[in-house]
Amino acid sequence: MIILEDIALRRGQKLLFSGASATLHPGQKIALIGGNGCGKSSLFALLLAELQADAGDIRGLKGLRISHMAQETETSPLTARDYVIAGDAALFQTLQDLTSADAAGDYEQSAMLHQRMEELDGYSAERRAEQLLLGLGFQREKMDASMSAFSGGWRIRLNLARALMAPSDLMLLDEPTNHLDLDTTLWLQTWLQSYRGTLLMISH
């Protein structure tokens, strides 16, 4: 359970909110609706510890796995598929370590990493990443293209797929349907309905 109690936040001279309180129960799905500049994204930044509240207290975040959809469209040398898989940071690091161990002929380390892959459900990672990409409208033949091959809107979709790939107890999505057509929006709706964690989403 996540508890926000009497939160106040200023950005510069502007008071975004004060006395704000809420309780988020495990598995709840909540949409934040409000005008531009009212503090929706700033609330996400508080939950991600990117900002500090001017007053009040936030409890219940310790130990939670938090996934969020980045709004920046970064350039990455990774392929679209690998960029999404990297949303699961522990798994992606294990994959890199396994590649290094195999190249070095370190069979003992390799065996340990294969066991770790089993624990992380790593052998299904490529299939799961491809399912997310297909659901968000990517053609299978484009999945091996690098990030630089995609426009800004498609990179936002990659950020969304990466957030969905990450194991999480709390998911923060900032207007995730931007750049989505009707079919992909409906696919995302179905996916989120089956999500077992707590969902906080900024909506129009």
pLDDT for position 37: 82
pLDDT for position 124: 92
Q: What is the pLDDT of residues 106-159, one digit of tens each?
A: 888 888 888 998 888 889 999 999 999 999 999 999 999 998 899 889 999 999
- pLDDT at 75 exceeding the cut of 80: no
pLDDT for position 101: 86
User: Are 50 and 125 within one domain?
Assistant: no
- pLDDT at 74 exceeding the cut of 80: no
Q: Model pTM?
A: 0.90
User: Are 47 and 146 within one domain?
Assistant: no
User: Are 91 and 191 within one domain?
Assistant: yes
User: Are 108 and 138 within one domain?
Assistant: yes
Number of domains present in the structure of the chain: 2
Burial 64-82 (b: 16+ CB within 10 A, else e): eebbbbeeebeeeeebbbb
Q: What is the pLDDT of residues 149-190, one digit of tens each?
A: 998 899 999 999 999 999 999 999 999 998 899 999 999 999
User: Are 76 and 128 within one domain?
Assistant: yes
Question: Which tokens in the block code for residue 83?
Answer: 């960029």
User: Are 124 and 161 within one domain?
Assistant: yes
User: Are 171 and 121 within one domain?
Assistant: yes
pLDDT for position 50: 94
Last residue of a domain, one of 28, 43, 62: 62
Cα–Cα distance between 27 and 196 in angstroms, integer? 6
Cα–Cα distance between 197 and 66 in angstroms, integer? 10
User: Are 77 and 155 within one domain?
Assistant: yes
User: Are 89 and 186 within one domain?
Assistant: yes
Last residue of a domain, one of 29, 62, 95: 62
User: Are 109 and 126 within one domain?
Assistant: yes
Give the CB-side neighbour count of residue 55, counting CA atoms within 13 A.
Answer: 10
Cα 122 vs. chain centroid, distance in angstroms? 18
Q: What is the pLDDT of residues 12-34, one digit of tens each?
A: 889 999 999 999 999 999 999 98
- pLDDT at 103 exceeding the cut of 90: no
pLDDT for position 148: 86
Beta-carbon contacts of residue 81 (< 8 Å; ≥ 6 apart): 126, 129, 130, 133, 143, 144
User: Are 79 and 175 within one domain?
Assistant: yes
Domain ranges, residue 37: 2-62
Q: What is the CATH number of the domain that holds 177?
A: 3.40.50.300
- pLDDT at 84 exceeding the cut of 80: yes
Cα–Cα distance between 123 and 20 in angstroms, integer? 44
Last residue of a domain, one of 41, 62, 83: 62
User: Are 6 and 99 within one domain?
Assistant: no
